[in-house]
A = this chain, B = another copy of it.
Amino acid sequence: MKMIDSLFCMAILLSLAASGCGGGSSEPAAPAYQPTNPQHQAMFQPLPKVMASESNPITEAKVTLGRMLYYDTRFSKNGDISCNSCHLLDQFGDDGKPTSPGHDGQLGVRNSPTVYNAAAQFAQFWDGREPDVEAQAKGPVLNPVEMSMPDATAVNKVLKGIPGYAPLFAAAFPDAKTPVSFDNMALAIGAFERGLVTPSKFDFYLKGNGTKLSAEERAGVTTFIEAGCSTCHMGPLLGGNMFQKMGLIKPYETADKGRGDLTGNEIDNYFFKVPMLRNIAETGPYLHDGSIASLEDTVRLMGEHQLAKPLTDAQVASIMTFLPTLTGEIPTEYIAMPELP
């Protein structure tokens, strides 16, 4: 009886495999098996589970502390701004505004980028002026139009004035002579941010399950590559690994010279870090100045200013079908706002 069952079962399985059907005959037919396009796999890569760093190993104690510091408004001049004020963890890591209000409501000049997956980038900030999220974390704290603390000493004073932080810093930095410090604050926030990864169905697709994307979405990936978008938006983040000139083909009117303003070299004028496209459908408005509200308009604008041939309506539509597959899952438990000391 058992033997007969097994044979029967195997026959069913073989028949299913031959038909390419993964479901039972009474259920709606699952899509036919579709291998992942090797060109797509070569161009993009799945996100890692965490974005590790040799110089700042991730530990539970650092992440616990970093998560608190990320939400803590007390080391801003008016005590009202935290990392999460502009990079909202429950809103795909940014604030949805063209530029963000900082100290006394002052607006910055560049759009706040999402913090999700940001640690895997080759450099931080729109102009790439810091090498990693640890160095990045210090910038807004001391920026006069953001959190506006006068200097590292002032931040240290705030941290030391909150007794509950002392044991948490000690646990996170057991070998440090003075665990509570601005430097270690940045390391803890960085360690926390290295876990802010948002895998999406595009990752399952890249790992080999081609069926995870519909035929239209797969075609969108091909359109994206063939139109030239992936010359700059490639790799695991679809961006975040190079600088490129804004207005490459057709000059783009912007007062912001990007890296040129940073280095003072004319050759760097209008170069910006190519932004990642992970969660792009949820992280508008777009461009370095947040001046474009619609993703579709942004895609069209990229075609006009960055590509040798402007995108056709069909190409824009196809790319717009693909981009939402990059919207990932927010790690709700990991980001839950903790009780602060």
Q: Are A226 and B308 in contact (CB under 8 A)?
A: yes
Closest B residue by C-beta to A260: B122
- Range of interface residues on A (Cβ < 8 Å): 35 or more
Q: Are B242 and A271 in contact (CB under 8 A)?
A: yes
> Complex formed: what's the CA distance from A231 to B245 in Å?
9
Given A241-B268, A267-B120, decide whether A42 and B226 contact each other with a Cβ distance below 8 A.
Answer: no
Query: In the complex, what distance in Å separates the CA atom of A234 from the CA atom of B269?
Result: 12
Closest Cβ neighbor of A236 among chain B residues: B267
Query: Is the CB of A105 closer than 8 A to any CB of chain B?
Result: no
Judged by a CB distance under 8 angstroms, whether A240 is at the interface is yes
Segment at the B interface, from A79-87, A168-176, A248-256: A248-256
Q: Which residue of B lies closest to A237 (CB)?
A: B267
Asked if A43 lies at the interface with its beta carbon under 8 angstroms from chain B, I say yes
- Residues of chain B within 8 A (CB-CB) of A299 are none
Measured between beta carbons, the chain B residues less than 8 angstroms from A237 are: 267
Q: Is the CB of A121 within 8 A of B267?
A: yes
Tell me the minimal C-beta distance from A172 to chain B in angstroms.
23
Q: How far is the CB of A309 from chain B (nearest CB, A)?
A: 7
| Smallest CB gap from A226: residue in B | B308
Q: List residues of chain B with CB within 8 A of the CB of A264.
A: 54
Known: A42-B251, A231-B248. A122 touches B241 (CB 8 A): no
- Tell me whether A324 is interfacial, beta carbon within 8 Å: no
Interface presence of A244 (CB below 8 A): yes
| Contact among B226, B243, B308 for A227, CB-based, below 8 A | B308
Q: Which residues of B contact A267 (CB under 8 A)?
A: 120-122, 235-237, 240-241
Chain A residues packing against B (C-beta within 8 Å) = 39, 42-43, 54, 120-122, 225-228, 230-232, 234-237, 240-245, 248-251, 259, 263-265, 267-268, 271, 306, 308-309
Given A43-B248, A234-B245, A235-B267, 4 more A-B residue pairs with CB atoms under 8 Å apart are A42-B251, A231-B244, A235-B245, A240-B267
The 6 A-B residue pairs with the shortest CB-CB distance, nearest first, are A226-B308, A241-B267, A231-B231, A122-B267, A242-B243, A225-B308
What are 15 A-B interface contacts by the 8 Å CB criterion?
Answer: A54-B264, A121-B267, A122-B259, A228-B231, A231-B231, A231-B244, A231-B248, A234-B245, A235-B245, A235-B267, A237-B267, A240-B267, A241-B267, A241-B268, A242-B242
